[in-house]
Structure 1
Amino acid sequence: MSSARVVALTVLSMVAFAANSLLCRVALRGTGIDAATFTSIRIMSGAFVLLLAVWVQRGRVPRAGNWPSALALFVYAAGFSFAYLSLPASTGALLLFAAVQATMIGYGVCTGERFSVLQWIGLVCALAGLVGLLLPGISAPPPGGAALMLAAGIAWGIYSLRGKGARNPTMETAGNFTRAVPFAGALSAITHMHAAFDWAGLAYAIASGAVTSGIGYVLWYATLPQLRVANAATVQLSVPVIAAIGATIFLGESLTPRIVLASVAILGGIAVVVLKGRRPANIERT
């Protein structure tokens, strides 16, 4: 694969992952769809596109995935949707990214990975940025939405850890999306009294599942073999930045000094941990 194509696919993948935050936020803020329905449609449309991709690649759809990973995927998707009922897109993307990375870095520490002094400084800096973002104040995010997004990030971190080393990530992800459909259906059934949707909301949910999730994963997995592990992990630092820029341009959200300073501390600290580590984390994104 040519370097120009690798760059193009990488950029498209990161834009797709950042667009998930924008699509979810605009759907729940500006259309009639509820969070549970958005989650269900996103998971079902993502499963359809990923299964189609596997069928095109292999000529059949073998069984793949597992129920614990599917549950983690569902918890991520549901927490993500309900969090965006109150969170701005830029803040949500930053909290999600911080929680994913913190989960995976924490797992490395608990399993005996040794950190250098500079890495510990980076980790403390990132945690300080997260605390600074969440401290009460005029520009602090709503605590309920922040808690839901942090839970979504932890779930996605667990999902990513469980999927490390998968021989065919696209097939495994397709299987997990498919297995997550019953969980999403159960959520919709439980919340059916509050169910609501319109055509615009459905369109955003389908785009989030089929395009920015399904096709985004296919592009990312096609690019990963061409990237070094450190590069693959580092390039994902761009996702919250892209989401913040997109939210400013398309959703009219403002970047407060608190968000800017927290972003610098969190992303900079994580970058130090990842780049200075002997075995940087290769994570999956939504």
Structure 2
Amino acid sequence: MFKDNNVTLRAITLTLLAMLAFAGNSILCRLALKETEIDPASFTGIRLAAGALTLWLIVRLRSGSSSGAGNWWSALALFAYAAAFSLAYVQLSAATGALLLFGAVQTSMIGYGLVRGERLGPLQWLGVAVAIIGLVVLLLPGLDAPPLGAALWMLAAGVAWAVYSLRGRGAGDPTRVTAGNFIRALPFAALFCLLLWPSRSLDQPGVLYALLSGALASGVGYGLWYAALPLLATSTAATVQLSVPVITAIGGIVLLNEALTLPLLIACASILGGIALVVLNHRKPA
């Protein structure tokens, strides 16, 4: 599972903390937009600003002369993800949002791989079919179906994050590149806040949750993940991310009193199981 089969306490600890941080983004965003008065645009702006500052400090404290500074197109994709993410969580539960986001990210990246010449085996095609069925189950009209508008916002956030991730491959030191992109995303966030200025709303708890989302769940979380990646085999790095929607669902039940419904359980098992079939049987491009 780990590179050179060397399962170290450091690798396990970094990976666990990073997954908790990623799940924490969904929990904090939903908590802020459900329990406080903060609006989605303000949450997005504060989150990106806190993330930018935290990542800048991490880069400054690290030694070395690694390359990478980010770029404007990637920053736009990062902002699109963060804005759509916040707009979606006005109505979505934490678990449903995380599942939609993860499904959209992985589906987009698998589709990109197919366009680039990757070939799927029978088990991988089965995995794609099972994952799509899971998304359909989750979105079917009914008492437990999420609001369509909010679901579409989260799917858009997933596509934007996939674009951001794909653009970041080989762009230099991941932490330095991410810091540069967060800083470049701030003008987009400021414009977003200005456009929604009439509906702005702030309170102390909402601002605190946004700061925690940006500084800890985003900034520190990405730093931990990039520190863990060199210690993980590729298949392990892909598979371990399947835990994020599950951790988010547990957090939503414990912290937000969200219900764990049967359609959500079926969708979770289908989407995560299907994606696992794909990533665990990865083939190189033809």
* Aligned sequence identity (%): 56
What is the one-letter code of the residue matched to 1:169? P
Match of 1:22 in 2: 27
What is the one-letter code of the residue matched to 2:143? I
In the alignment, is residue 74 of structure 1 matched against residue 79 of structure 2? yes
- How much is the aligned-residue C-alpha RMSD, in angstroms? 1.6
Match of 2:181 in 1: 176
Inter-partner Cα distance in structure 2 for 1:166 and 1:55: 19
Note if contact 2:67-2:172 (Cα within 8 Å) is conserved in structure 1: no
Note if contact 1:54-1:60 (Cα within 8 Å) is conserved in structure 2: no
Match of 1:283 in 2: none
1:31-70 deviation line (CA, Å, top 9, x unaligned): 1100000000000000000001111114899871001100
Q: 1:168 to 1:27 in 2, by over 3 A?
A: same
Note if contact 1:75-1:155 (Cα within 8 Å) is conserved in structure 2: yes
Inter-partner Cα distance in structure 2 for 1:178 and 1:60: 19
- List, as ranges, runs of 4+ consecutive aligned residues in structure 1 with deviation greater than 2 Å: 58-63
Instruction: Give how far 1:167 is off.
Output: 2.6
Q: Where does structure 1 lack aligned partners over 5 or more consecutive residues?
A: 281-286
Where 1:156 maps in the other structure, the secondary structure is: helix
Inter-partner Cα distance in structure 1 for 2:56 and 2:284: 32
Inter-partner Cα distance in structure 1 for 2:149 and 2:210: 23
Alignment of 1:26-41 (within 5 A): 26-41=31-46
Q: Where does structure 2 lack aligned partners over 5 or more consecutive residues?
A: 1-5
Q: 1:136 to 1:2 in 2, by over 3 A?
A: closer
Where 1:113 maps in the other structure, the secondary structure is: coil
Instruction: Give how far 1:211 is off.
Output: 0.4
Inter-partner Cα distance in structure 2 for 1:31 and 1:77: 19
Match of 2:127 in 1: 122
1:132-152 deviation line (CA, Å, top 9, x unaligned): 111111100000000000000
Match of 1:109 in 2: 114
In the alignment, is residue 11 of structure 1 matched against residue 16 of structure 2? yes
Inter-partner Cα distance in structure 1 for 2:217 and 2:190: 21
What is the one-letter code of the residue matched to 1:64? A
1:210-256 deviation line (CA, Å, top 9, x unaligned): 00000000000001000001100000000000000010011000110
Inter-partner Cα distance in structure 2 for 1:13 and 1:79: 22
Inter-partner Cα distance in structure 2 for 1:39 and 1:101: 23
Alignment of 1:40-119 (within 5 A): 40-58=45-63, 64-119=69-124
Instruction: Give how far 1:5 is off.
Output: 1.2
What is the one-letter code of the residue matched to 1:67? W
The partner residue of 1:202 within 185, 202, 207 is: 207
